[in-house]
Amino acid sequence: MSVNAITTGGKRRWKVRWREGGKQRSKTFDRNADAKLFDAEVTRKRQTRELTILTGDCPTLKDYASRWWEEYAEPNLAQTTLSIYAVQLDLRISPELGGYQLREITPAMVQRLLTRLTKEGVGDATTVKTATVLQSIMRKALLDGYIDRNPVQAVRKPSQRRKREPEIIAPSSVEYIRSKLSLRDATIVSVLAYAGLRPESEMTTLTWEQVGERAVRIDASKTGRRRYVRLMEPLAEDLDVWRLNSASTGLVFPTTNGAWTRNTWKLWERRIWKPVARDAGLRQDTRARDLRGSFASLLIWEGMSVVEAAEQHGNSAATFLRDYAGVFAEFNASNRLSAGDAIRAARTMKVRPQSVLKIVQGSKTPEPSSGLEPETPSLPWKCSTN
């Protein structure tokens, strides 16, 4: 390394030379002091093996994103996650930052991108996803030596405030919905409500090999962890009946074309789930995913601890407690009820088709009405008709 005085166009300047990657490199400065500072920085980065960030061989974000996709995203992320990430890259990140070299991207530039998304009405959750994708790309660029810091880490992201509370669908409403569906669709509802599987990443990919005699094995693509969900007896019976009537030996719920896609799931939810859920009196924005809340409430009313229930549900204890704090608040240890008993009790209730049910947490017994005629022991859900 060296700092040499040169004259160009009649002006005295200073050139720093160093060798890296088998090539001679140089950078010119107007002031001697700046050249010496840069020379010292080159020495430091050579000693810490960070020298590549000073060279001109730095890809643009758009070019490097393709490498990140092939080397990190595709091998490690679920297909549904890849679809979401692709949207962030193509519609939000590349148009704004794709033409910049990685080392040119600053925290201020990232902050302007996120602020613009917010002003354009993009939701907080989507904005956070955009930041997550960009931060992942920059993390790999940091490891590859193209940058010396991740500019996304310093940026303030939107808080992911919950915009809708999860709907806790009582077993009586689950069973009413099941009674209106085909065997296959009713069994899908059972799996979602009584095993708590995530619809797109866990239910649609469930195979018979994962279904044991006492538990269902879930290879969670979201968390990367394997968990075993206890197979409740009523659900085991539902799956046995479906197995006898299904020709499939692979996927438990194959579509006519085999595997599910995001579109086939959305179509199922719109054509199968929505009409019968509305007929059952559930909220207009009710999703099939809300059936995970039914599973959570069954575990809580059995008396499971937060940690035990969260493990079955596939969440951290903190997330589970945040989402279902209201159910825990209503839980009374003296009224514990096994999940299997709650489901069987709901299956013996007579619910007329014209009944509209609303579920309110915290009551010891169902309120008798013209629409609901309980023939079973009291349940920890309050059901009333409009």
User: What is the average per-residue pLDDT within 295-310?
Assistant: 92
- The pLDDT score that the predictor gives to residue 54 is 52
Structure tokens at 271: 């054509």
User: Stretch 345-349: mean pLDDT, rounded?
Assistant: 88
Q: Work out the average pLDDT over 20-33.
A: 78
pLDDT of residue 364: 36
Residue 266, number of CB atoms within 10 A of its CB: 11
Token pair in block for residue 53: 């960030």
State the residue for tokens 């000073």.
54
Provide long-range contacts, Cβ within 8 A and 24+ apart, for 313-317. Answer: 313/196, 314/196, 314/198, 314/202, 314/218, 314/220, 314/222, 314/223, 314/227
Residue 356, pLDDT above cutoff 80: no
Least confident of 34-43, 145-154, 202-211, 369-378: 369-378
pLDDT confidence tier of residue 230, bands split at 50, 70 and 90 = very high
Q: Where is pLDDT greater, at 369 or 277?
A: 277
State the pLDDT at residue 50. 52
Give yes or no for residue 379 having a pLDDT over 60. Answer: no
Structure tokens at 25: 């490199």
Question: How far lies 200's CA from each of 5, 192, 261, 262, in Å?
Answer: 65, 11, 8, 7
More confident residue, 184 or 47: 184
The two three-digit tokens of residue 84, written as one number:
């979401």
Q: How far is CA 268 from CA 94, 134, 184, 275, 319, in A?
A: 33, 32, 12, 11, 28
Instruction: Determine the pLDDT at residue 202.
Output: 92
pLDDT band at 375 (very low <50, low <70, confident <90, very high): very low
pLDDT tier at 285, thresholds 50, 70, 90 = confident
User: Where does the pLDDT of residue 385 fall: very low under 50, low under 70, confident under 90, or very high at 90 and above?
Assistant: very low
* 70 CB burial (10 A radius; 0-12, 13-18, 19+): exposed
- Average pLDDT on 363-368 reads 36
Measured CA to CA, the distance from residue 231 to residue 113 in angstroms comes to 46
359 — pLDDT class (breaks 50, 70, 90): very low
Q: 111: exposed, middle or buried (C-beta count within 10 Å: 0-12, 13-18, 19+)?
A: middle
| CB neighbour list of residue 334: distance below 8 Å, 6 or more residues apart | none
- Give the Cα-Cα-Cα angle 341, 346, 350 (nearest 5 degrees): 145
Q: Which helix (H) or strand (E) holds 263?
A: helix 262-268
Element (H, E) at 230: strand 226-230
pLDDT of residue 203: 94
Q: In this predicted model, what pLDDT tens digit does every residue of 195-205 receive, in sequence order?
A: 999 998 899 99
State the Cα–Cα distance between residues 384 and 386, nearest whole angstrom: 7
What's the whole-number average pLDDT of the chain?
A: 83
User: What pTM was computed for the model?
Assistant: 0.62
Residue 266 has pLDDT above 60, yes or no: yes
Confidence check: pLDDT of 366 > 70: no
Q: What is the pLDDT of residue 339?
A: 92
Give the mean pLDDT of 273-302: 92
